[in-house]
Amino acid sequence: MFDKISIEDAERILGDVKPEQCFWINNGPIIHNLHEMSNALNYMKDEVFKHHVNEEKNDIANWIRDVLKDNKLADSIKSITRKDKILDRINERIKKLEKRIEEERAY
């Protein structure tokens, strides 16, 4: 069952953000959307990940909450400090949002 998310919100969460809202990975790529974040996490070195996510902060969760406005995903990863676990949650969320959009378009 879907968390009650509108098709518009699902599309916004998966879509590109404005250039000034991009996530700038330390010494790495600029992230425009959730798919790019997933891809970047796949290849991100541990020291770069720890720059953004550690016991004191979670830049990824903050960006997801403040820019993408996806509180559900942000809340689910805000206290996680393992890259693989955050990546799993992001990929799971992407699949659910894509399925929501696909099912809506089928009607």
Read out DSSP for 25-66?
-TTSPEE-SHHHHHHHHHH--HHHHHHHBSSS-BHHHHHHHH
Give domain limits for the chain.
Answer: 7-106
Q: Give the distance, in angstroms, between the CA of residue 92 and the centroid of all CA atoms in the same chain.
A: 10
The confidence score (pLDDT) of residue 3 equals: 62
Over the chain (107 residues), the average pLDDT of each successive run of 10 is 78 97 94 98 96 97 98 97 98 96 82
Task: Evaluate whether 90 touches 73 at the Cβ level (below 8 Å).
Answer: yes
pTM, two decimals, is 0.93
Q: What is the mean pLDDT of the chain?
A: 94
Task: Evaluate whether 98 touches 47 at the Cβ level (below 8 Å).
Answer: no
